[in-house]
């Protein structure tokens, strides 16, 4: 073979390889990054020793529930995280059952609801109606003074170490106050925690406006509030529990003050107990764009009993096992997830939850974006497109329970609202920041859009794009500290804006605004949002409007004064 022919063949080979590579890259555009982000599942079952709300749920029924959960995980050789309330911790049969499970690779940790045996072991006086009372002022750490909280931690940790030979690495609860969480980390070195999904009024507990799904580092003054700086954060990642329906959970009970539940919990027949919903939810969490990682928690507390949860778990657990074997997800203990989080993120990362298929076929789709500075939620509802939610995070905003005990039977944790599509709505008006055309006479009309396209542009930048029927091509870029909205259409015949719509009697936090800044106040705490490109207009001294500059609106969520 001549040198000339050899060179020609080598050149042709290089061209073929290049073309093949380009073809693969083109075919994977918008998908490769989703596969690069790990999808993590914790199977968390927490354990109570008594259930005073039902005579049928005896101590034996509660134990048999945990026994069956252990048996099922063993059948599939899956690790679980079992979190023990103090009243269950001191029961020998739970100790024996879970020691065997630990040998198999599962984790045992603490469930931080406070019970009568726990309080009395700490030398305190029990104030509850039953030996376990779910009211927040007696059943949770927020109902106790900081000094009492430390006593409760000390007695639990020593009892746990006496039984299991070490301190627990994971501690979960519907909510744990910042003082308790910091004390657990500083003295006992806990690695991870978990708390309840966002909900409003459910069981008397409100957690609203927080980091939606996945995990975050909490502020030292507020365990529900993500910190913005490493020095002001508790170095214990908090994972959000229960697997909320990203579309319908938020609106559940709108127009009222209490939400129902639409989640992965297997006892709910229309969500976590329904195979079709489960497959839809897993597809969204494990296959759609998510940035750094995506996460969900499976499992159930034993108070619901095995008979109520087994149908849902018998669907969920085999599906999760199959996905694990295919390499699509990681199933691990909460401690393992906490260690991985701390190894990969010095501060709270940007993440997203994306749903581009509507389980109910009602034309609804959604995108949730979270960072250490803010969260935002976009909703498409039969073509109408709007921000359903924007909440600002500020590590300086203390919880009501940081330095004193809560006396109410309810518990409330919130962040700082800019848009609140649940609390500012009524049964007829859905509050939100709507994309609208603005006519020359000043009248607005909601724009109608095509389905969204969602892409991960980098590890912490999410792009959402869609086109209006009138021709506008809207691109929204979510960055860690701000978001930008741009119309890239060459035809700009219409004037567009973002208009806040609320119910007339909504209690809004806004105190003043100018062309570049919205100022607001919650419980005496001032906060703000800056429009660094475009202008803010308050047409009726009630609801604000963002007006683009050169077809762009840029909103800065990182201003702290």
* Arithmetic mean of pLDDT, 377-398: 95
Domain residue limits, the chain: 32-346, 364-556
Please determine, for residue 375, whether its predicted confidence score (pLDDT) is greater than 80. yes
- Which pLDDT value is given to residue 4? 36
What rounded mean pLDDT belongs to the chain? Answer: 91
d(CA 237, CA 216): 5
DSSP assignment of 267-310, as one string? T-TTTTT-HHHHHHHHHHHHHS--BT-EEEEE---GGG-HHHHH
- Which pLDDT value is given to residue 360? 87
- Among residues 458, 270, 499, the alpha carbon closest in space to that of 352 is found at 458
- Which pLDDT value is given to residue 44? 98
- Which pLDDT value is given to residue 493? 61
Please determine, for residue 28, whether its predicted confidence score (pLDDT) is greater than 50. no
Q: Please tell me what DSSP assigns to residue 549.
A: B
Residue 520: its H or E element: strand 517-522
Q: Please tell me what DSSP assigns to residue 459.
A: T
**In this structure, how many other beta carbons lie within 10 angstroms of the beta carbon of residue 2?**
7
For 437, counting Cβ atoms within 10 Å of its Cβ (0-12 exposed, 13-18 middle, 19+ buried), the class is: middle
Residue-wise pLDDT for 406-445, tens only, equals: 999 999 999 999 999 999 999 899 999 999 987 766 678 8
- Residues 175/140, Cβ–Cβ less than 8 Å: yes
- Which pLDDT value is given to residue 202? 86
Cα 183 to its chain centre, rounded Å, is 24
Q: Please tell me what DSSP assigns to residue 449.
A: B
- Which pLDDT value is given to residue 470? 85
**In this structure, how many other beta carbons lie within 10 angstroms of the beta carbon of residue 356?**
17
Tell me the residue ranges of DSSP E strands in 85-182.
107-111, 170-172
Beta-strand relationship, 205-208 and 411-414: parallel
**Confidence bin at 369 (pLDDT 50/70/90):** very high
Residue-wise pLDDT for 451-463, tens only, equals: 999 999 999 999 9
Name the residue with tokens 């989080």.
Answer: 341
- Residues 550/559, Cβ–Cβ less than 8 Å: no
- Cα dihedral: 183, 186, 189, 193 (round 10): 40
- Which pLDDT value is given to residue 280? 97
**Confidence bin at 541 (pLDDT 50/70/90):** low
Please determine, for residue 12, whether its predicted confidence score (pLDDT) is greater than 50. no
Q: Please tell me what DSSP assigns to residue 468.
A: B
Q: How far is CA 398 from CA 222, 380, 403, 509, in A?
A: 5, 34, 9, 17
Please determine, for residue 20, whether its predicted confidence score (pLDDT) is greater than 80. no
Q: What is the pTM of this model?
A: 0.91
Phi, psi of 552 (to 5 degrees): -135, 140
d(CA 327, CA 339): 20
Kindly tell me the sign of the dihedral angle through the C-alpha atoms of 348, 478, 206, 130: negative
Please determine, for residue 278, whether its predicted confidence score (pLDDT) is greater than 50. yes
Please determine, for residue 235, whether its predicted confidence score (pLDDT) is greater than 60. yes
Please determine, for residue 318, whether its predicted confidence score (pLDDT) is greater than 90. yes
- Among residues 133, 64, 59, the alpha carbon closest in space to that of 91 is found at 59
Residue 1: its H or E element: none
Q: Which CATH code fits 32-346?
A: 3.20.20.510
CA angle 209, 525, 406 (to 5 degrees): 70
Residue-wise pLDDT for 59-74, tens only, equals: 999 999 999 999 999 9
- Which pLDDT value is given to residue 21? 38
d(CA 389, CA 330): 30
Cα 263 to its chain centre, rounded Å, is 12
Name every residue whose Cβ is closer than 8 Å to that of residue 66 and which is 6 or more positions away in sequence. Answer: 45, 47, 82, 94, 97, 302
Residue-wise pLDDT for 126-152, tens only, equals: 999 999 999 999 999 999 999 999 999
């Amino acid at each position: 073979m001549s040198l000339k022919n050899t060179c020609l063949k080598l050149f042709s080979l290089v061209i073929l390889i290049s073309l093949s590579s380009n073809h693969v890259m083109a075919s994977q555009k918008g998908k490769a990054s989703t596969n690069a982000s790990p999808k993590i599942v914790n199977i968390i079952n927490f354990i109570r020793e008594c259930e005073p709300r039902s005579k049928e749920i005896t101590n034996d029924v509660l134990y048999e529930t945990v026994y069956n959960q252990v048996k099922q995980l063993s059948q599939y050789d899956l690790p679980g995280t079992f979190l023990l309330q103090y009243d269950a911790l001191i029961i020998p049969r739970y100790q024996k059952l879970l020691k065997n499970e630990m040998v198999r690779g599962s984790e045992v940790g603490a469930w931080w609801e406070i019970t009568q045996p726990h309080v009395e072991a700490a030398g305190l006086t029990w104030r509850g109606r039953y030996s376990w009372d779910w009211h927040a002022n007696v059943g949770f750490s927020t109902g106790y003074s900081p000094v009492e909280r430390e006593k409760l931690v000390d007695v639990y940790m020593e009892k746990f170490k006496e039984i299991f030979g070490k301190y627990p690495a994971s501690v979960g609860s519907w909510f744990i106050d910042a003082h308790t969480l910091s004390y657990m980390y500083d003295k006992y070195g806990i690695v991870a925690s978990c708390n309840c999904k966002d909900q409003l009024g459910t069981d008397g507990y409100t957690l609203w406006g927080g980091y939606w799904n996945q995990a975050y580092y909490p502020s030292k003054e507020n365990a529900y509030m993500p910190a913005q700086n490493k020095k002001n954060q508790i170095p214990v990642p908090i994972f959000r529990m229960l697997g909320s329906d990203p579309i319908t959970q938020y609106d559940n009970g709108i127009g009222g003050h209490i939400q129902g539940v639409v989640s992965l919990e297997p006892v709910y027949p229309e969500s976590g107990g329904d195979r079709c919903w489960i497959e839809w939810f897993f597809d969204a969490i494990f296959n759609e764009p998510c940035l750094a990682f995506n996460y969900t928690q499976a499992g159930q507390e034993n108070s619901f009993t095995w008979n109520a949860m087994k149908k849902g778990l018998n669907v969920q657990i085999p599906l999760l096992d199959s996905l694990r074997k295919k390499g699509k997800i990681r199933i691990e203990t909460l401690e393992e997830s906490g260690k991985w989080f701390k190894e990969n993120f010095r501060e709270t990362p940007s993440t997203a939850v994306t749903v581009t298929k509507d389980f109910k076929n009602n034309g609804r789709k959604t995108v949730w974006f979270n960072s250490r500075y803010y969260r935002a939620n976009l909703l498409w509802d039969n073509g109408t497109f709007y921000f359903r939610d924007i909440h600002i995070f500020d590590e300086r905003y203390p919880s009501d329970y940081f330095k004193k005990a809560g006396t109410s039977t309810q518990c409330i944790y919130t962040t700082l609202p800019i848009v609140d599509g649940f609390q500012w709505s009524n049964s007829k008006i859905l509050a939100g920041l709507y994309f609208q055309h603005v006519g020359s006479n000043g009248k607005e009309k909601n724009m109608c859009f095509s389905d969204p396209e969602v892409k991960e542009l980098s590890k912490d930048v999410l792009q959402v794009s869609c086109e209006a029927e009138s021709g506008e091509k809207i691109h929204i870029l979510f960055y860690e500290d701000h978001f930008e909205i741009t119309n890239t259409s060459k035809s700009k015949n219409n004037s567009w804006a973002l208009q806040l719509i609320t119910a007339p009697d909504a209690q809004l936090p806004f105190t003043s605004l100018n062309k570049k800044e919205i100022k607001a106040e919650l419980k005496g705490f001032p906060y703000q949002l800056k429009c660094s490109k475009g202008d803010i207009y308050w047409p009726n001294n009630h609801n604000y409007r963002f007006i683009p500059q050169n077809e762009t609106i840029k909103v800065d969520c990182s201003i702290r004064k």
